[in-house]
Amino acid sequence: MRRNLIAVFLGVVTIGVPLFAHHGAAAYDTSKKLALKGIVTEWFWANPHCFLRFDVTDDKGNVAHWAAETSNPSDMVHLGWSKQSFKPGDEVTVTVEPVKNGLPIGRIEQVALANGQILKARVVF
Amino acid sequence: MLRYILIATLALIPTWIVASPAHAQTGSPQQPGTAANQKSAPAPRRDISGTWDPGNNGIQPLGPRAMPEDGKPEHQLPYTPLGLETLNAHKPSNGVRSVLPGETNDPVVYCDPQGMPREDLYELRTTQIIQTPLKVFVLYQFGKIWRVVWTDGRDLPKDPESRWFGYSIGKWEDDYTFVVQTSGTDERTWVDRAGRPHSADLRVEEKFHRVDLDTLELTVTINDPKMYTKPWVALDKLPFKLQPPNFDVREMMCSPSEFAEYNKIIGNPASGKGAQ
C-alpha cells in the first residue's frame, strides 16, 4: 500500500538560537515536526498570516483537514512565495510544527511541491 | 489514523526555518548593508526625501529594536507603578508575555490604527518621505497611512483633541538631521508589539539623520513621565537604505474580514476556541 506520509528525520539543531525563534509560539509545540503529504484545498494569501489548507489521507482512507500558517505576504514574497504558489489539487508535502492541542493546525517550516521545488518559510512572526 | 513520526529536537528550539534572502521578484528592496563595501555619495543638505527601506530590522516583533522585550535585564523599562499596571493589562500575541492568538487584546491585531510611535516601532517597512515647503509627509507601507510633520515653525498644540498619530512638528537640528516632536496621541494605542503602554502625556522625539546619499538613520526616544520614570530610546540609529525612485511599494493592509477568516481557520482553533 502506498504510503501517504513521508517521515522526515532531519532535525537541524543550531546553537545560539535567537529568542525571536519562539515568536507567537504559545500555541505551537516547538519540539515536534511533522511531514505531511496531502492535496491543497485552499491557499489564503493575506494578512495577518497566509495559510495553506490541505487534506491528508491515511492508510485507512481517513482524511484529516489540515491548516498551516506562514508569515504575512510582505514577508513571504522575499522568500519566493506568491499568491500563485499553490492551487487546489496540488500535491504537496508540508513540514509543520503542530499546535499543542492536537488539532490539525500548524505553522509551516517548508512546503515541497510535486515538481521538487521547496519553499521555505521563516518563523519570525 | 494518521501515523506521525515525531522528532524530538536535541537541545534548543531549532532554527531550521532559515530562508535564503533571495528575492524572487524584481523590485524587492535592496537590504541595508548591500552596498556596505561601496562608498556612497555625500548626503544632500536638508533632504530626507525618498523611498527608504529598513529591511527586516523594521519588523520588530519583540518590540522596538533598541529595547525589545526579551527578558534581558538591560531591556527592562523604568516603569512607574501605573506603567507596570497598564503593561500587565496588555496581552500581546508575540514575545515573552505572549498569550494564545485567540486571547490577545492587541488592538493592532484587530486592525485598529497603530498610531504613534508604534508605526515606527512595529512593521516598519518601506517608508516614503516627501518634503514640501510647509510640511513633511511620511508615508508608511503597513496600513498605507501617512503622517504630517509641520515645518512652518508652529508649536505643538496645548490641549489637543487626541489623534491616533498625534501632532508633529519638525525642524532641522543641522543640515543632515531632521528632528520631529510628537504629542497629543491617543491613549488606546500601544507603544509597540510587546504592549508597552503610554498615556496622553506621551512625547515622542524622532531624529532622521541623513548619513550619506543612500543611508538614513532613525532614532526614536519615548518620554512619558506617567508611565516611565525616565525617557528611553526605542530605536537607535535604525538604518534605512535608499531605493530607486521608480520602486513600487506593495500594499500591506490589516483587513478585518481577512483577520476574521484567519481567526476562524487558525487563531481560534489553535487557542482552543472552536473547531475549524
- Looking at residue A26, its pLDDT comes to 82
pLDDT in tens, B137-170: 999 999 999 999 999 999 999 998 999 999 999 9
- The CATH code of the domain that includes A88 is 2.40.50.140
User: CB–CB of B47/B213 below 8 Å?
Assistant: no
CA B118, distance to chain mean position in Å, is 5
B216 is written with which cell numbers?
A: 538614513
Number of folded domains that form chain A: 1
Tell me the backbone φ, ψ of residue A4, rounded to 5 degrees: -100, -15
CA distance B194 to B72: 14
Q: Is residue A11 part of a domain?
A: no
Q: Is A23's CB within 8 Å of B95's CB?
A: yes
B266/A contact by beta carbon, under 8 A: yes
> Percent of chain B at pLDDT above 90?
79
pLDDT in tens, A25-47: 788 998 999 999 999 999 999 99
- What is the DSSP pairing of strand A105-113 with strand A63-69? parallel
Task: Name the percent of chain A in helix, strand, coil, to the closest 5.
Answer: 10, 40, 55
Mean pLDDT of B109-138: 97
So where are chain B's domains?
Answer: 50-270
A15/B contact by beta carbon, under 8 A: yes
Query: What is the three-class DSSP state of B273?
Result: coil
Give the H/E segment covering residue A73.
helix A73-76
Residue A122: which pLDDT band, with cuts at 50, 70 and 90?
confident
Residue A8: which pLDDT band, with cuts at 50, 70 and 90?
very low
Show Cβ contacts of residue B81 under 8 Å, excluding neighbours closer than 6 positions: none
Paired with B235 in beta bridges are B220
Measured in residues, chain B has a length of 276
Residue B101: which pLDDT band, with cuts at 50, 70 and 90?
confident
In this prediction the pTM is 0.84
pLDDT greater at residue B39 or residue A118? A118
Paired with A66 in beta bridges are A54
B20/A contact by beta carbon, under 8 A: yes
- Looking at residue B14, its pLDDT comes to 38
Q: Is residue A2 part of a domain?
A: no
User: How many residue contacts between A and B have a Cβ separation below 8 Å?
Assistant: 181
pLDDT greater at residue A57 or residue A17? A57
Q: For residue B151, give Cα distances in angstroms to B124, B132, B207, B219, B249.
A: 23, 9, 14, 19, 26
**Chain B partners within 8 Å of A119 (Cβ):** none
- Looking at residue B5, its pLDDT comes to 45
Query: What is the three-class DSSP state of B84?
Result: helix
CA A72, distance to chain mean position in Å, is 14
**Distance from first CA to last CA of chain A, Å, rounded?**
39
pLDDT at B10 over 90: no
Of A123, A125, A99, A115, nearest in space to A34 by CA: A99
**Chain A partners within 8 Å of B25 (Cβ):** 77, 82
Tell me the backbone φ, ψ of residue B262, rounded to 5 degrees: -60, -45
CA dihedral B32, B35, B37, B38 (to 10 degrees): -140
DSSP letter for each residue of B110-169: TT----TTHHHHSS--SEEEEE-SSEEEEEESBTT-EEEEE-SSPPPPSSPPPBTT-EEE
CA distance B253 to B264: 19
Measured in residues, chain A has a length of 125
Residues spanned by the domain of A33: 21-120
**Chain A partners within 8 Å of B1 (Cβ):** 58, 60, 62
